A and B are shown apart, each in its own frame.
Chain A
Amino acid sequence: MPELSMVGRSVVRLDSRDKVTGGAKFVTDLSLPRLLCGKILRSPYPHARLLKIDVTRALSVPGVRAILTAEDTPKNIIGHIVVDEVLIAFEKVRYVGQEVAALAAESEEAAEEALGLIEVEYEELPPVFDPEVALGPDAPLIHDGGNLAYHFEYQRGDIEQGFRESDHIFESRYTTQSNHQGYIEPRGCLALADPTGKVTIWAGVQSIFRTRSRVAKFLDLAETKVRVIQPYTGGGFGGKTAPNEPAVAALLALKTGRPVRLVNTQEEEFKATRPRVPAIIYQKLGVKKDGTLLARQVRVIADCGALSGNVPHIAETMAQRPDNLYHFAHLKGEGFVVYTNNTPGGACRGFGNPQGHFPLESELDEIARTLKLDPVELRMKNAVNVNEVTLHGWKIGSCGLKDCLKLAGEKTGWRDKRANKKPGQGIGLAVGIHVSGNRRGENFAGSAAFVKVDPSGNVALITGESDTGQGAWTALAQIVAEELGIEMNSITVAPADTDIAPFCLGAYASRVAVIGGQAVRVAALDARQQLFAQAAQVLEANPEDLEASKGRIYVRGAPDRGLTFVEACRRAVYRQGGGPILGRGTYDPPTVQADKSLYGNFCQSYPFCAQVVEVEVDQGTGQVRLVNIFAADDVGKVINPILEEGQVHGCLSQAVGFSLMEEIARDNGNVIN
Chain B
Amino acid sequence: MQVTLDLTVNGEDYRVTVPAKALLVEVIREIICLTGTKRGCDEGVCGSCTVLLDGKAVCSCSVLAVRAQGKQITTIEGLAKDGKLHPLQEAFINFGAIQCGYCTPGMILASKALLDDNASPSERQVREGIMGNLCRCTGYVKIVEAILACSQGKVAPDA
B residues less than 8 Å from A17 (CB atoms): 85, 93
B residues less than 8 Å from A21 (CB atoms): 36, 76-77, 79-80, 85, 89
Complex interface: stretch among A149-157, A230-238, A325-333, A531-539: A230-238
A residues less than 8 Å from B105 (CB atoms): 20, 22
Complex interface: stretch among B52-60, B65-73, B117-125, B135-143: B135-143
Once the chains bind, are B102 and A184 in contact (CB under 8 Å)? Answer: yes
Once the chains bind, are B96 and A183 in contact (CB under 8 Å)? Answer: no
Once the chains bind, are B93 and A12 in contact (CB under 8 Å)? Answer: yes
A651 to B136 Cα, complex, angstroms: 9
Once the chains bind, are A184 and B80 in contact (CB under 8 Å)? Answer: no
User: How many residues of chain B get a CB closer than 8 Å to chain A's CBs?
Assistant: 43
Return the CB mask of A1-18 against B: 1 if under 8 Å, else 0. 000000000101101111
Return the CB mask of B76-111 against A: 1 if under 8 Å, else 0. 110110000100010011111011111111001000
Measured CB to CB, the closest approach of chain B to A201, in angstroms, equals 19
Once the chains bind, are A26 and B136 in contact (CB under 8 Å)? Answer: no
Name the contact of A649 in the complex, choosing from B77, B80, B98, B138 (C-beta under 8 A). B138
A277 to B99 Cα, complex, angstroms: 25
Measured CB to CB, the closest approach of chain A to B38, in angstroms, equals 7
User: Which residue of B has the minimal Cβ distance to A185?
Assistant: B102
Q: Which of A614-673 contact B (CB under 8 A)?
A: 642-643, 645-646, 649-654
A643 to B105 Cα, complex, angstroms: 19
Measured CB to CB, the closest approach of chain A to B98, in angstroms, equals 5
A265 to B43 Cα, complex, angstroms: 10
Q: Which of A372-412 contact B (CB under 8 A)?
A: none
Taking the complex as formed, is A438 at the interface, i.e. its CB lies under 8 A from any CB of chain B?
Answer: no
Once the chains bind, are B100 and A20 in contact (CB under 8 Å)? Answer: no
Measured CB to CB, the closest approach of chain B to A537, in angstroms, equals 41
Measured CB to CB, the closest approach of chain B to A186, in angstroms, equals 7
Once the chains bind, are B102 and A266 in contact (CB under 8 Å)? Answer: no
Name the contact of B96 in the complex, choosing from A24, A232, A646 (C-beta under 8 A). A646
B residues less than 8 Å from A471 (CB atoms): 99
Once the chains bind, are A646 and B137 in contact (CB under 8 Å)? Answer: yes
Q: Considering residues A21, A22, A237, A649, which has the most beta carbons from chain B within 10 angstroms of its beta carbon?
A: A22
User: Which residue of B has the minimal Cβ distance to A468?
Assistant: B100
User: Which residue of A has the minimal Cβ distance to B19?
Assistant: A109
Return the CB mask of A168-205 against B: 1 if under 8 Å, else 0. 00000000000001111110000000000000000000
Given contacts A185-B38, A266-B42, contact A20 B99 (CB under 8 A): no
Q: Considering residues B37, B85, B95, B141, which has the most beta carbons from chain A within 10 angstroms of its beta carbon?
A: B141
A395 to B23 Cα, complex, angstroms: 57
Measured CB to CB, the closest approach of chain B to A137, in angstroms, equals 42
Given contacts A21-B77, A21-B89, contact A184 B98 (CB under 8 A): no
Q: Considering residues A29, A468, A471, A643, which has the most beta carbons from chain B within 10 angstroms of its beta carbon?
A: A29
B residues less than 8 Å from A653 (CB atoms): 138-140
Taking the complex as formed, is B48 at the interface, i.e. its CB lies under 8 A from any CB of chain A?
Answer: yes
Measured CB to CB, the closest approach of chain A to B41, in angstroms, equals 4
Once the chains bind, are A22 and B34 in contact (CB under 8 Å)? Answer: yes
A residues less than 8 Å from B38 (CB atoms): 26, 28, 184-185, 234
User: What are 5 inter-chain pairs, A to B, with CB distance below 8 A?
Assistant: A12-B94, A29-B35, A183-B102, A185-B40, A469-B137
Binding site for B on A (CB under 8 A): 10, 12-13, 15-26, 28-29, 181-186, 232-235, 237, 265-266, 468-471, 642-643, 645-646, 649-654
